[in-house]
Every structure is written in C-alpha cells, then in structure tokens.
Structure 1
C-alpha cells in the first residue's frame, strides 16, 4: 500500500485508521494490524493514532463495530421490498452475493470470521451480523408469501448458498456452476414450486 499524501495527513480522522486497519486485517490477519504499520502507511506518527484511540484494542473494537454496523445496515437494505417485488428481490440478493461477490468484502468477512474463532468480542459481532442477515432474509421470504417455518428454512439456504458460493474459486469448479446456481436459486426462491 502507498503512504498517504501530505494533504491527507492534515485531514486524517478516526475512520481512516479504522478503514486501513480493516484492509490490513483482510490482507494479513489480526497480527498484521499493528499501530506502527498503520502510522507508516498513513504517513503520520504513532502519536496521531493515540489521539484517536486509547490503544490497539480500542482500534480493533472500532473495526468490529464498523464492520458489524455496515453489514447489519446492508442486510436491512437488501431486504427492502414490497409484497409484489419480494420474490424478485430475493433473486437479486442471491445473485448479488453469489454471482458478483465483492472480493474485498469476502476477504474482510473471512478475516473477521477467522478472528471470531479465537475472540469472544469478534464472535459476538459475527453472531449479530448472522442473526440480522437471517432475520432480514426471513422477513423478505415472509413478505413473498412463505410461512414462517418455510421462510426461515429458505433464509438459511439463501445465506449458506450465497455466502458459500461467494467464497469458492469457480475456475476449479465444474463448467456448469452457473447452471447449478440458477437451479439452486429457483429452489430457494420457490420458483420451482409454482
């Protein structure tokens, strides 16, 4: 990564530290999120870091909170629909996460989930995000006319399919992965039962 310019140095705020820390987490794991490395890449002194954060743990907490809030907000936005458009939105959600995954977002998600395996605070943030995603997807399926039980089951299938597929390397998969995805999408969205 390049060092930030002199102009950035004067306008550096807390969010710049959090953003870069999140990028380093995705690239190098938790061990790669070091104050010295952040300060060097931002082109500032470590004193600037301590102006915004008490210590590294406070930065890590801010990374988790920023990630959690962003994912919960995105989940709620993805679930917005009217009864007439719910099934169409379900298909768009499945496609957005599995056909056109945000590779940077996937790396961040994987890094935070890895961190959560060893840290209770990170695990709580992941649990909050998972709960929000499943609840929002369930509500979307309910809006689309499914029973509560069927909506929950389909929400879980949507979540595991979309995120699982987004983390896979397609070049090593069967040539018909696109066709298989379309079949799974029809199954999850209920199009095959019509």
Structure 2
C-alpha cells in the first residue's frame, strides 16, 4: 500500500469521528484585513492596531495575516493608501466642476462636509490625524489629502470668477468652517441651524 504524506499541521481525524461538522476554512483577502485594521484604528488608535488583535477579530491565525503582508508596517502602509484613495475619490465626487454652476457646487460641498458625520467616519478621521501627529509617513499622507481638498475648492472659486489669492483664502476658510462644525457641539446655539448654515455658506462663497 502506498504511504501518503501526513500534514502535521492538520488534524487528520475525520470530522464525523470527532463528533462535529467540518468548519470551512476562512479566507481573507488583503482588503478585508485593511478594513478590519481601520475599524480597530478608529476604536483603539494606532497603538491598539496589532496583528494578534486583528487576527482574533477576523477569526483567523496570525499566519493568515503574514500570507498577505510582510509585517505590521506593510499593513499600516496599506491602511494609509486605502484611506488616501477613498478620500480623494470622495473629494472629486463632491467638488467636480460643472461649468457655470461653480457656486452651486461650492454650496453643495459646504452642505455635504458641514453635515453631521456618522460616528465611525469621524472616529476614523480623528484616528488618522492623531496618528499623523506622531508618524512622518502618516503626516505626509494627511497633508496630501488636505492639499488636494483645498486645491479642488480653490479651482471652483477661480472658475466662479475670483482671483487665485482670494480663491485660496476662501478655500481654506471653507474647510476651516466645515471641519470645525464636525468637531463642535452646537445644536443648541441657534433655533434654526439650517438657516444659520446657509448664511455661513453664502458668506464664504459670495463676491
């Protein structure tokens, strides 16, 4: 009889004999690892983003992680790239130029970014920015995204008829406003917040 090699890492006892059904092997692609990492980052910050924590959260072994990533730094690089690409796609969507409707597009950008953000989205944004305070690579990625944000709205202001210098100041003012709103608690500041935000928007984009 032919002798078959035995895989010592796998329990060769039939599942039926062990008294339980066979469990399907979990397969995670790199994007799933990155998404799980972002969830942990939002909850526990960069210090809490560890391979063993991710593996436990995903229900797999650490060995499964190293199938896709050389080390933890490779995962961190992927997280930054994923966040950067997602933010740039979002910026392009919100600030896409429609000829002759630049001011309407600016109003839309203020409305979208000034709206109450979901808790998870804000937690991710804050975690990335806190990470950037202590890590040069993360800081560079955040700066790239912020400069892209500012330049897209600058182009809208220029297309609306403003000088480049004025467009830059308005663009910075726009994001200072919407990011400030996303961090502040002001629901009891005014009885008509919708009207208040509209007046703020008009001041930012008016001639």
State the Cα distance separating 1:179 from its structure 2 match: 3.7
Cα distance in 2, alignment partners of residues 85 and 162 from structure 1: 21
Q: Partner of 1:9 in structure 2?
A: 26
Closer/same/farther in 2, CA of residues 161 and 51 from structure 1, 3 Å limit: same
- Contact preservation (8 Å) 2:40, 2:49: yes
Residue 170 of structure 1 aligns to a residue whose secondary structure is coil
How high is the TM-score relative to the length of structure 2?
A: 0.83
Q: How many residues align?
A: 184
Q: 2:152 aligns with which of 136, 148, 152?
A: 136
The RMSD of aligned alpha carbons is 1.7
Taking CA–CA contacts closer than 8 Å with sequence separation of 6 or more, which of the two structures ends up with the larger relative contact order? 1
Residue 190 of structure 2 aligns to a residue whose secondary structure is coil
1:174 is aligned to 2:184 = no
Larger Rg: 2
- Contact preservation (8 Å) 2:132, 2:142: yes
- Unpaired runs of 5+ in structure 2? 1-22
Closer/same/farther in 2, CA of residues 14 and 179 from structure 1, 3 Å limit: same
In the TM superposition, what are the counterparts of 1:39-188 in structure 2 within 5 Å? 39-171=55-187, 173-176=188-191, 177-188=193-204
